[in-house]
Amino acid sequence: MRALAVLILFGTAAAQNTPPPKPESRPEPEPVVTRHELRLGNRVLNYTATAGRLPLTNEQTGQVEAHVFFVAYTRNDAAADRPLMFSFNGGPGAASVWMHLGLIGPKRVKLNPDGSYPPPPFTLIDNEFTFLDFTDLVFIDPVGTGYSRAVTQELGRKFWSVDGDIQSVAEFIRLYLTRYQRWRSPLYLIGESYGTFRAAGVAGYLVNRGVAFNGVLLISSILNFQTTNTLPGNDLPYMLLLPSYTATAAYHKRLPPDLQRDWKRAVKEAEEFALNEYPVILAKGNRLTPAERAAAVKKLSRLTGLEETYIDRANLRVVLQAFAKELLRSQGKIVGRLDSRLTAVVGPSNGETFDFDPLITAIVPPYRSTIADYLSGVLGYKSDLEYYVLGGGIGTWDYGPLGRNGRDTSEALRQAFLRNPHMRVFVASGYFDLGTPYFATEYTLSHMNLPVEFEAQLVKRYYEAGHMMYIHDQSLVKLSKDVQEFMRSAGAKVAISQ
């Protein structure tokens, strides 16, 4: 499970010890089309679902190199220029199932109200907050995820890279727009986690090829990997993680009484310290005087809920997994990496790492079992292939000569802004997400060097949940309403639900 926690966020397949299975090369059937209805209050939404695979063809040889699985939903009474949203998750190695059955689609997995693990058997319920109420939807499984496959193992390597992934998803979007005659639709792109990294790259890639998006939505964003990689000599992540540490400590009631009374004020104090004092402290390294070091230890202990002796031993730099293990060590619990509201009992063992993330254990079984039944039993798409929800279908991911730490798609997003001045970007972040910390996202966006006139087109919203903030019922309601409002402001003709 630890490898899965790595996959869902940072997109490295190196954690897999076994090679992915050989791709298949069967004749491709036509997509399956079914009709459905969904009750939304006192209204009935009639819609069509289309599930199938589209071929990716080499322009030079004319040979099919891969098939990309998708599920599309279109409202039956909609005009030809209705908004159209393309959605994918991250990993890389994650299928689109997470936002499909958690946030956006007409059905969603039933979890506990706070997003924690429900008892099996797992069920799907009608999603009264579905985006289908205000936009048509297309869920894309990149090559090696879901039912998407390369024709051969060797061709798979072409798609299992930063650039190959961006280009293949962009080509799928072009092909879908052509085959389903949706070129007149206002276009939106939504990605989660590594999917935000992909979305920024796709937006920049396609705008140079005549496809401009009205809006790009980034859920739990990671555009610059340097903001989260705590390699020796890179102090940036410690500053950007600190406010999320404070929020987590407040949630678990580990802060001093004066901070505990108002956790958002505590988070603001952490932000101010992270911007103004902490960088200087870290930059000084061993040149800190004993008095400066003692003051820094005391301040960090106050803001993190950790003991001063631990802060001192960590040399003022607490890595993510160590914090997750240390905060509730006395209770024999760990807090989640991707949703630090969630905990798991592991016993008061020594060490500063843990074998699983409570969020991963809460979501994989429910989503894995429900998507298989839903695709086959409700949408009528039959396949003997394994539907890869998270890992298993891709080989080692190629980040290019700069490696993962050198990759940054915020420049692609900036170029998309410059070439399409009408584009707007929506950014959703969870306070309790330690994997893609909200303050790291703010840092990246504030360093994009956008002209001042574009700043108003960046819409940022925050939620009292984690990486998948939509598994938290209250955040799901807020996020759906926020997205409706964003799309209306971005030019889509949508009615805001009451």
In a domain, 249, yes or no: yes
d(CA 4, CA 251): 25
Instruction: Please report the pLDDT score of residue 148 as a whole number.
Output: 97
In a shared domain, residues 401 and 284: no
What residue numbers bound the domain in which 255 lies? 233-358
In a domain, 144, yes or no: yes
Report helix, strand or coil for 8. helix
In a shared domain, residues 324 and 463: no
- Are the CB atoms for 227 and 433 separated by under 8 Å? no
Instruction: Please report the pLDDT score of residue 348 as a whole number.
Output: 62
In a shared domain, residues 25 and 140: yes
Instruction: Please report the pLDDT score of residue 28 as a whole number.
Output: 74
- Are the CB atoms for 130 and 78 separated by under 8 Å? no
Instruction: Please report the pLDDT score of residue 24 as a whole number.
Output: 53
In a domain, 208, yes or no: yes
Instruction: Please report the pLDDT score of residue 444 as a whole number.
Output: 96
In a shared domain, residues 325 and 385: no
- Are the CB atoms for 54 and 70 separated by under 8 Å? yes
In a shared domain, residues 115 and 42: yes
In a shared domain, residues 331 and 376: no
Look at strands 187-193 and 84-88 and give their pairing: parallel
DSSP 457-486: GEEEEEESS-TTGGGSHHHHHHHHHHHHHH
CB neighbour list of residue 425: distance below 8 Å, 6 or more residues apart: 215, 216, 217, 218, 413, 417, 457, 458, 459
DSSP 220-237: EE-SBGGGT---TT--HH
Neighbours of 243 (CB within 10 A): 26
HEC string for 395-436: CCCECCCCCHHHCECHHHHHHHHHHCCCCEEEEEEECCCCCC
Domain boundary among 338, 358, 378: 358
In a shared domain, residues 175 and 34: yes
Sign of the alpha-carbon dihedral angle for 305, 311, 314, 315: positive
Domain boundary among 342, 358, 374: 358
In a shared domain, residues 105 and 254: no
In a shared domain, residues 175 and 67: yes
Number of domains in the chain: 2
In a shared domain, residues 351 and 387: no
Diameter over CA atoms, the chain: 72
In the DSSP assignment, the letter for residue 388 is: B
Sign of the alpha-carbon dihedral angle for 197, 201, 204, 207: negative
CATH number of the domain where residue 103 is located: 3.40.50.1820
Domain boundary among 327, 358, 389: 358
Angle between helices 438-446 and 236-251 (to 10 degrees): 140
Q: Is 166 left (phi over 0), alpha (psi -120 to 50) or beta?
A: alpha
pLDDT by residue, tens only, the chain of 498 residues: 334 434 445 444 433 445 555 555 556 789 999 999 999 989 999 999 999 999 999 988 989 999 999 999 999 987 778 999 999 999 899 999 999 999 999 999 998 898 887 888 899 999 999 999 999 999 999 999 999 999 988 898 999 999 999 999 999 999 999 999 999 999 999 999 999 999 999 999 999 999 999 999 999 999 999 999 988 889 999 999 999 999 999 999 999 999 999 999 999 999 999 999 999 999 999 999 999 999 999 999 999 999 999 999 999 999 999 999 999 999 999 999 999 999 988 866 666 666 678 777 778 889 999 998 999 999 999 999 999 999 889 989 999 888 788 788 999 999 999 999 999 999 999 999 999 999 999 999 999 999 888 888 999 999 999 999 999 999 999 999 999 999 998 766 555 443
In a domain, 498, yes or no: no
In a shared domain, residues 72 and 203: yes
- Our measurement of the distance from residue 464's CA atom to the centroid of its chain's CA atoms, rounded to an integer in Å, reads 16
Length of the chain: 498
DSSP 82-104: --EEEEE--TTTB-THHHIIIII
| Short-list 273, 264, 268, CA closest to 301 | 273
d(CA 33, CA 31): 6
In a shared domain, residues 257 and 144: no
In a domain, 417, yes or no: yes
d(CA 71, CA 103): 15
Task: Dig out the tokens for 247 from the structure.
Answer: 């929020």
CB neighbour list of residue 435: distance below 8 Å, 6 or more residues apart: 9, 10, 193, 220, 228, 320, 337, 338, 467
